[in-house]
Chain A
Amino acid sequence: MKTISFVLNGKKTSIEVDDNETLLGALRERLGITSVKEGCGIGECGTCTVLVDDEPHYSCLTLASKANGRDIKTVEYLSSSGVLHPLQEAFIKSGAVQCGYCTPGMLLCAYSLLLKNADPDARDIKEAISGNLCRCTGYIQIEEAIKNAAEICKCDR
């Protein structure tokens, strides 16, 4: 066991973790962040995506100890100011949500994309979510939502 400290959704957090514990396990089991989903456990599906220093990571393949000193964001961060992020609004409006199991991971990948690229084209969006599987939507309304949110975020700047 070791103690790790990191920023979780903007708040300083310290927890004890096992040496072989995954970040997915620590977030779900120790911190009760159940928005982070396990879909495959081997880094193939992306439902467990979290942002580490604003970059998407598969938390099922990330050791919890690697979070030490880092900034970790889960989907809760997007609405932490009390209002929905434009991406969340756009996902709702565009019909980007069906079963919803991939949704948190998709939102985080999209958020990371928009931080780096305020004006993504269709190809950029497809690439940004290419590591996240969705079995329901065919990705199209997710891509539309990200495009629409990018427009709104641009106007807000």
Chain B
Amino acid sequence: MFIGQDITRVDALDKVLGTAAFAHDLKNNTMLFACVVRSSRPHAMIRKIDASAALALDGVVKVLSHKDIPGENLFGAIKKDQPFLAEGRVRYKGEAILVVVGVTEEIARKASGLVEIEYEDLEYISDPFLSMRSAILIHDGGNLLSHRKVIKGDAGKGFESSDVVVENTYSTTWIDHAYMETEAGIGYTDERGHIVVASSTQNIHYKMKEIARLLAIPPEQVRVVQATTGGGFGGKLDVTVEGYIALAVYHTKRPVVMRYTREESFLGHTKRHPLYIEYKTGAGKDGNLTAVEVNIIGDTGPYISYGETVCLRAAVHATGPYEVPNVLVNSRMFYTNNPVSGAMRGFGVPQLALAHESQLDEIAERIGMDPLDIRMKNALKRGSLTATSQVLHHSAGLLETLKGIEPFWRARRKQGPGSGFGLGCMYYGIGNTGISNPSSCYLTFTPEGRVEMHSGVCDIGQGSDTVLLQILCDALGMEEMGIDLVRGDTDTSLDAGSTSASRQTYISGMAVCNAAQKMREYLEGQGYYSGKPLKDICREAAEKGLPVFKGHFDPPTTAPDPETSQGAPYATYAFATHMTEVHVDEVTGVCKAVKVHAAHDVGRAINVSNVKGQIYGGVAMGVGLALMEEFIPGKTESFDNYYLPTSMDMPEVEAIVVEDREPTGPFGAKGVGEPALIPQAAAIVNAIKDATGVRMRQLPCDIERLKLALEKNKIK
């Protein structure tokens, strides 16, 4: 048995030795260096570009603009709307305009500083409220990117029958993924004339297709390889360096390397969406929720990226993991001239969790009910209807996570002034929202008698390679891990889809199970399970050509109704409860998260150590979201003014793993990557209220914001 065991991660040895090759480590001295010239203006027409001084610099090989793009100058994960290189107009500070290629990094960077760009500034749309009223259009079609509604029952009637109604506004800000490894990659032309790019990425097949469109060549002539990737969290889903590297290789016919500095990374990649959330909750005296009405306004920046995805996912998760008979949600995303907001761990759901969890605590306070009891009373469970009227037929372990937390909650005791406790719950649909999002893989043998798994799944540090191998070993009934992993290369794997939406264990895990089932049948026929050695089977098979077994899985979902979003957008959901103890220093405004109990229904923990690693990391990111992280466009440049939690900021964490098995998942597994983060900030905010009496509705609750709120509260 490999499932449920703490199997050592297959990538750990190389990483502790320092030999794991991240993208920039693949560089050699024959490679040219490419860097990007970016817009210094948030919204402007480009009147003139003078690259003569850059081109005159010794060692500069090329300066490339949109005119040098042979194919289509547009990319985008959902819709193709963002130029690789700006054509005449820039729509955010940091937008790419030129690629400068030099013989060394020093020369390329120096040359990029010599390019002179003349702008004619346009009115700058700095927030979504301005955007919705402005006559200035960021795109011809208007400033509204997306409007999604969730309508269930009759919210108006629900509020009429409520004994208590609570209405508040919440807001969150831009968050940077801040993976330790900035975007990087190398590229070259191989002996077949194919363009090869090896980069730090979450999705090789998607990037292969984007490069093919950019260069107007068939995707079969592009090979994308995933280098060891130093974190992603959604920020390496969009095309980053890959397009520029491919373009530079195409024009120079020489190998090219790129690496963003941290400053460039902050400027260049997407952010978590800032959301403004107007939230109205109604309940009976008994604590039963009667109605929820939510109005979400999002700042999506000037290009789509994952803006529509976040708009819809935020809407369908807006009630939180509770049974609410009457729901009305309006979720809208507006274009602005702020940074492009895109995918980041949770796709809008952590922002909504802040709102629904704060609201629930206020309802509980108004009717004199314990925060844990009101959650237990309303918790989604097997047989429940979600906000989209999806029946949860199985694996809905929210109550079990609440019960896991219950003893600690009931035994909580404040440690003097400034001490407080808070709860946060969440549910999260695994996989993409209401659309097909399949994964494929294939298995074969080596002539020497080993099983070979060909996987297009990008392990970005979360451990999917190890988990998929564990699944395969058990699915084949192997007693030892005799499997060779061929991974992360579009030439040798099928499309597994992106490493996002907490989908790889569940969806790619099922694709592996599907392939394993076919291989198992073959092995049965060959006598493997009655004792014939694999070596002999493979030697005999090799003469005729080794068989290949393809696996495929696409989770069963239904498209949300365009007007009401009713339907079954996800095949399964993860559930979690976090309890957090904080200490607030009322003199300084410093809030410290002291202790977290985090209970997660993951369906089945394939690798318990990995699951705990995700939970601890999610808590850390939640501490950052709640207390310190804030990207301010035009101001934030580096880790000097973007604060990440350090070891000193981390609470003690106790992870509680709940396993309500998911019958459609691999050995019962669901996912945990994003769920680990989602309820954490909410739990902290509720704990701050418990500690100080102050309800924080804007994130982050950093020292200044919290101190100000505490002072205001004193005056009251």
Query: Which A residues have a C-beta under 8 Å from some C-beta of B?
Result: 34-35, 37-42, 44-45, 47, 74-76, 79, 84, 88, 91-95, 97-104, 107, 125-127, 129-143
Contacts and interface: CB of A to CB of B under 8 A. Distances in A.
A131 B19 CA distance: 23
B363 to A, nearest CB: 31
Given A42-B262, A93-B8, A136 B231 contact: yes
Contact of B231 (A41, A93, A94, A135): A135
Contact of A92 (B9, B261, B616, B621): B9
Contact of B13 (A92, A130, A138): A92
Give the size range of B's interface with the partner.
Answer: 35 or more
B25 interface: yes
B76 interface: no
Contact of B22 (A37, A74, A84, A94): A37
A88 B16 contact: yes
Kindly name the residue among A42, A92, A139 whose own CB sees the greatest number of chain B CB atoms within 10 A: A139
Contact of A39 (B13, B182, B609, B653): B182
Contact of B613 (A40, A45, A76, A137): A137
Given A92-B13, A135-B621, A42 B639 contact: yes
B22 A97 contact: no
A97 B9 contact: yes
Contacts, number: 161
Given A35-B18, A99-B229, A100-B461, A135 B9 contact: no
Kindly name the residue among A42, A97, A98 whose own CB sees the greatest number of chain B CB atoms within 10 A: A98
B461 A98 contact: yes
Interface of B: 6, 8-9, 11-22, 24-25, 177-182, 228-231, 233, 261-262, 460-463, 609-610, 612-613, 616-621, 638-640, 644-648, 650, 653
A75 B609 CA distance: 24
A132 B24 CA distance: 20
Nearest to A79: B17
6 contacts: A99-B461, A101-B22, A107-B16, A133-B639, A136-B462, A141-B613
Contact of B653 (A88, A94, A138, A142): A138
Kindly name the residue among A38, A74, A125 whose own CB sees the greatest number of chain B CB atoms within 10 A: A38
B638 A40 contact: yes
A44 B638 contact: yes
Contacts of B12: 91-92, 97, 100
Contacts of B14: 100
A50 to B, nearest CB: 11
B231 A95 contact: no
A139 B639 contact: no
Contacts of A102: 180
Kindly name the residue among B20, B178, B460, B463 whose own CB sees the greatest number of chain A CB atoms within 10 A: B20
Nearest to A40: B262
CB-CB nearest 9 A-B residue pairs: A35-B18, A99-B461, A100-B15, A101-B230, A138-B616, A138-B620, A44-B639, A95-B609, A34-B25
Contacts of A79: 17
Contacts of B653: 138, 140
A41 B639 CA distance: 10
B8 to A, nearest CB: 6
A130 B18 contact: no
A133 B644 contact: yes
Given A79-B17, A100-B11, A101-B181, 4 more contacts: A97-B12, A98-B613, A136-B613, A140-B616
A91 B16 contact: yes
B644 A100 contact: no
A42 B638 contact: yes
B648 A127 contact: yes
A101 B638 contact: no
A98 B463 contact: yes
A35 B20 CA distance: 8
Contacts of A38: 24
Contact of A137 (B18, B177, B616, B638): B616
